Amino acid sequence: MAYERPLISDLHAYAPGEQPADMSRVIKLNTNENPYPPAPEVMAAIHQVSADALRRYPSPSAAGFRGAAAALHGVHADQIIATNGGDELLRMLIQVFAEPGGVIGLSEPTYTLYAVLAASHGAGIAKVERGPGFELPADLAQKWNAAGARIGFVVNPHAPTGRFETPETLARVAREFQGVLVVDEAYVDFAPDSCLSLVRGLAALPNVILLRSMSKGYGLAGLRFGYGIGPSALVAAMHKVRDSYNCDALSQAAATAALQAQAYYLPLHGRVRAERDRLAGALRQRGWKVPDSHTNFILAEPPVDGNFSAFELYGALKLRRILVRYFKYPRLDDKLRITIGTPEQDDRLLAEIDDIVSGSTGAFQPFPSPHTDSRADLRALPGTNPPHPPKLP
Amino acid sequence: MAYERPLISDLHAYAPGEQPADMSRVIKLNTNENPYPPAPEVMAAIHQVSADALRRYPSPSAAGFRGAAAALHGVHADQIIATNGGDELLRMLIQVFAEPGGVIGLSEPTYTLYAVLAASHGAGIAKVERGPGFELPADLAQKWNAAGARIGFVVNPHAPTGRFETPETLARVAREFQGVLVVDEAYVDFAPDSCLSLVRGLAALPNVILLRSMSKGYGLAGLRFGYGIGPSALVAAMHKVRDSYNCDALSQAAATAALQAQAYYLPLHGRVRAERDRLAGALRQRGWKVPDSHTNFILAEPPVDGNFSAFELYGALKLRRILVRYFKYPRLDDKLRITIGTPEQDDRLLAEIDDIVSGSTGAFQPFPSPHTDSRADLRALPGTNPPHPPKLP
């Protein structure tokens, strides 16, 4: 008999986008990292953390960071909880607000981690399909209520489509929903607005929690730092299940410095947005369908009358050491999710796509490796997903 | 109605030892931090993490660290799981091996976080009292089995007494126990032996997981890095519920460098052990009862015929800005847990104790603060525990 719980034996773990060990040989447009590095102030803050500070336990609640976040967002520090990446916040939200045996509300398609976290908690899912344009259905809250959900998740701007719902739309969902509405704003730094108005000031709603992440907008995916913003009563409940010292001294210092470096980050977000729109336009010129995105990625559908399916392009690009994300899910398996890179990286992507489509066998292959079979080499990349070698034309 | 689950509403969160914001004015002997800073190699490794590395997601499973830990301990990398502090490992262990509604096995007194984690999971506790000398009872496993426990925790060397049980004793418990035995070796670097033999080689047991921490032995409490060592099947089950990227790039680099800096740490552990035995001897000379400790703290009982109880001494020392740990629990409320400091810090502790006992009102008070009421000042320390001002003579 296994020692672990049957629920854990049966669990399918979340599969993150592949992270090749040797990044230098790969153009990585698959996990929505920022193409630009964090602010110099962030690196300085890290280097200023002394050996003596590392010797001691850090602030249990990341008090300094919470003060900085409260000042930036115009809320009280009691409304902030800092977490070891946004993923930890998601896990805590389910632990605090969803009963094992209950359900969480989702709007599909969505970030696949939600369902994994629910399953690992013993909770089910009330799935509501998004509309034809991936918009939120008008009866979302009613359907969640009917299923008995006590917590529901909406990622906005939406992954993996990039669509943006207005704060008014989310406020309506929150008012109609009987449980806690989590608005996952991991990509908000690239959007035209946010849902801050739902948690701030006199019009704040009692059941909305926003998720923020330093991974995308702040170029700090390696730091593992996220935070929640919400009513102090809900935030206090989450602090009760937080690991005693869940954010380390280095990440607290770095995240605080990042929040305070808006002068560096605001133009950087503008650059990513402009490049996003340029890449979307360039693909549309090539016959791809690319809906407007308000994130740092696009969900792009290659021409249906082309010679290459999305999956085949994913595989062909990977052989040329460009990683994009392919999802084998309904409504997504004919598209590629492409993270916005630097203009140089995106130009290379476009050139490789043109080269693949033109039938070349790889004259533009950027990283010739004469001493190895490049396909075997690529199969050995850790975390390769999907598991089978791509079908080649 | 509250939005959170009733279980969370009812939960009493773990209260860590107090962490004053201004460390410079306090001698902190209350949370078992190492008095010595981490190795220079650790700081160098942190400073070598580039902005570009922080931009990207880290290794999801801390592959580099696991390789280093496997080499150090003579196990396979599949037997290692890295976590955001030992606390995250404890939480994951309960999630993976204990059913909500089930029980976890403890031997009292013990680290109070175990019970909080069980409660937050909806699990109960099978408590077994340690013997008169705080030794493990011979029928520990039988009692856990009778209660239906599927996981049990033994901290060894023991907190808060410092007692050490041999690997043979723990192996016997593991063989008799029907569930997973977690040996929490947070303090193992100050002990004469470890339970590595229970997870390594041909004699490895199928149901033992060791917890290791960088917080104490490696002087890295601020880094939040721990790891588990156990059978690969059990470790694989835990990886399934791990947050996708639970250890950040900085802590992975620092922890790896720390493990590889044994030439720095081994003599440092020897210094702490020697100082521990000196402090224990000095208190015994003053009539205190101090059992032998195999950790970096001592559990010390002031003379019962003295004028000051343990709680009064805790309060009086705090007024003199020396923090030690007082536990208001059976068998512990007549004792103080004192972390081993530098010889200078421990000499100051002894001098202040002598001064308090001699009836001084504070001539030796090290940090006079003429402009504030020092008691009000101290009451304002964050996380003060116990919550009420100490009763003063």
Tell me whether residue B292 is in a domain: no
User: Cα separation of B195 and B210, whole Å?
Assistant: 7
A40-69: b (≥16 Cβ within 10 Å) or e:
ebbbebbeebebebbbbbbbbbbbbbbebb
Q: Which residue of B has its CA nearest to A49?
A: B43
Residues A213 and A95 in one domain: yes
Write the pLDDT tens digit of every residue in B24-53. Answer: 789 999 999 999 999 999 999 999 999 999
Chain B residue with minimum CA distance to A245:
B224
pLDDT tens digit string along A333-386? 999 999 999 999 999 999 999 999 998 655 444 443 333 333 333 333 333 333
A118 CA to chain B: closest CA distance, Å? 11
Q: Cα separation of A70 and A60, whole Å?
A: 17
The pLDDT of residue B373 is above 70? no
| Same domain as A171, residue A307 | no
Determine the pLDDT at residue A17: 77
Mean pLDDT of B301-328: 95
Query: Nearest Cβ partner of B99 from A5, A58, A383?
Result: A5
Considering the domain boundaries, does residue B326 fall inside one? Answer: yes
What is the predicted ipTM?
Answer: 0.91
Nearest-CA distance from B25 to chain A in Å? 14
The CATH number of whichever domain residue A306 belongs to comes to 3.90.1150
Q: Of A230, A261, A292, at which residue does a domain stop?
A: A261
Q: Is residue B144 part of a domain?
A: yes
* B307 and B249 assigned to the same domain: no
What percent of chain B stands above pLDDT 90? 86
Q: What does the pLDDT read at residue B353?
A: 97
Per the model's pLDDT, the better-predicted residue between A179 and A19 turns out to be A179
Q: DSSP letters of A176-242?
A: H-SSEEEEE-TTGGGSS--SGGGTSSTT--TTEEEEEESSSTTS-TTT--EEEE--HHHHHHHHTTS
Residues B247 and B244: their CA atoms lie apart, in Å, by 9
Alpha carbon of B344: minimum distance to chain A alpha carbons (Å): 16
pLDDT digits (tens, 9 = 90+) for B254-290: 999 999 999 999 999 999 999 999 999 999 999 999 9
Measured in Å, how far apart are chain B's first and last C-alpha atoms? 46
Instruction: Looking at the structure, tell me whether residues B23 and B62 fall in a common domain.
Output: no
Q: What is the reported pLDDT for A364?
A: 45
Give A123's Cβ-side CA count (13 Å radius): 29
Contact A95 B223 (CB under 8 A): no
Contact A3 B382 (CB under 8 A): no
For an interface test with A, the pick among B92, B235, B238, B240 (most A C-beta atoms closer than 10 Å) comes out as: B240
B149 and B246 housed in the same domain = yes
Which residue of chain A comes nearest to B89, CA vs CA?
A: A243
- Domain shared by B150 and B209, yes or no: yes
Give CA–CA dist B273/B267, Å, rounded. Answer: 10
Residue A222 within a domain: yes
Asked whether the beta carbons of residue B19 and residue A56 sit closer than 8 angstroms, the reply is yes
Indicate yes or no: CB of A240 within 8 angstroms of CB of B120.
yes
B293 contacts: CB under 8 Å, gap ≥ 6: B157, B161, B162, B163, B276, B280, B299
> Measured between beta carbons, which residues in chain A are less than 8 angstroms from residue B223?
54, 248-250
Residues of B in contact with A219 (CB under 8 A): 51, 54-55
Mutate to test the interface with B, among A54, A91, A272 (most CBs of B within 10 A): A54
Q: What percent of chain A has pLDDT over 90?
A: 86
Which residues, 6+ apart, have CB-to-CB distance to B276 below 8 Å? B190, B293, B295, B296, B297, B298, B340
The reply to whether residue B37 touches residue A57, judged by beta carbons under 8 angstroms, is no
Tell whether the torsion through CA atoms of B3, B8, B9 and B14 is positive or negative: negative
Using CB atoms, pick whichever of B33, B85, B122 lies closest to residue A243.
B85
| B240 and B97 part of one domain | yes
Contact call for A150 and B34, based on CB within 8 A? no
> What residues does B212 pair with on adjacent strands?
B227
Closest to B85 in 3D by CA, of A263, A277, A136, A243: A243
Q: What is the pLDDT of residue A18?
A: 78
For the entire predicted model, the pTM comes to 0.91
B382 contact residues in A (CB cutoff 8 A): 63
Do both A241 and A363 map to the same domain?
A: no
For B120, the closest of A120, A241, A248 (CB atoms) is A241
A99 chain-B contacts, CB cut-off 8 A? 5
Q: In Å, how far is A16's CA from the nearest CA of chain B? A: 7
Residue A361, pLDDT score: 59
Has residue A268 been placed in a domain?
Answer: no
A248/A364 same-domain check = no
pLDDT above 60: residue A331: yes
Q: Are A253 and A323 within one domain?
A: no
Give the rounded distance of the alpha carbon of B128 from its chain centre.
20
How far apart CA A219 and CA A189 sit, in angstroms, is: 11
The two three-digit tokens of residue A4, written as one number: 């672990």
| Residue A298 DSSP label | E
Q: Is B294 inside a domain boundary? A: no
Query: With bands split at pLDDT 50, 70 and 90, how would you rate the model's confidence at B360?
Result: low
Count residue pairs from A and B with Cβ separation < 8 A. Answer: 248
Say if CB B199 and CB B230 are below 8 A apart.
yes
- Name the residue among A37, A63, A247 with its Cβ closest to that of B55: A37
- Domain closes at, from B262, B279, B309: B262
DSSP state of A68: H
Say if A213 falls within a structural domain.
yes
Q: pLDDT: is A364 or B21 the higher one?
A: B21
Task: Show which of B214, B235, B262 is a domain's final residue.
Answer: B262
Average pLDDT over all residues of chain A: 91
d(CA A389, CA A314): 11
Structural domains counted in chain B: 2
The pLDDT of residue A285 is: 98
Q: Say if residues A33 and A215 touch (Cβ distance below 8 Å).
A: yes
Distances (CA, A) of B354 to B208, B291, B360: 45, 21, 9
Instruction: Please answer yes or no on whether B13 and A239 come within 8 Å at the CB atom.
Output: yes
Tell if the CB–CB gap between A97 and B4 is shorter than 8 Å: yes
In CATH, what number is assigned to the domain containing residue A72? 3.40.640.10
Same domain, A145 and A240: yes
Task: Based on the fold, state whether residues A22 and A46 are members of the same structural domain.
Answer: no
CA A259 to chain B, closest CA, distance in angstroms equals: 15
Q: Is the backbone of residue B53 left (phi > 0), alpha (psi -120 to 50) or beta? A: alpha
Give pLDDT tens digits for B162-220. 999 999 999 999 999 999 999 999 999 999 999 999 999 988 999 999 999 999 999 99
Residue B296 has pLDDT above 70, yes or no: yes
A142 exposed, middle or buried (CB, 10 Å; 0-12, 13-18, 19+)? middle
Residue of A nearest to B242 (CA): A13
DSSP for B15-74, please give it.
-PPP--S-GGG-EE-SS---SSPPPHHHHHHHHT--HHHHHS---TT-HHHHHHHHHHHT
Examine residue B393 and state whether it is found in any structural domain, yes or no.
Answer: no
Kindly report the nearest CA distance between residue A250 and chain B, in angstroms: 7
Tokens of B293: 């400790």
Nearest-neighbour CA in chain A from B303: distance (Å): 31
How many C-alpha atoms does B168 have within 13 Å on its Cβ side? 0
Alpha-carbon distance B88 to nearest alpha carbon in chain A (angstroms): 7
Alpha-carbon gap, residue B328 to B334, rounded angstroms? 9
Cβ within 8 Å, pair B237-A8: yes
Side chain identity at residue A291, one-letter code: P
Per the structure, the complete domain to which residue B307 belongs is given by 6-30+301-379
pLDDT at A375: 32
* Pairwise CB contact (< 8 Å): A250 & B222: yes
- Which range (A73-87, A207-221, B12-26) has the least confidence? B12-26
End-to-end CA distance of chain A: 46
Nearest CA in chain B to A42: B51
DSSP single-letter state for residue A286? T
Task: Determine whether the interchain pair B4/A234 forms a contact, defined as Cβ–Cβ distance below 8 Å.
Answer: yes
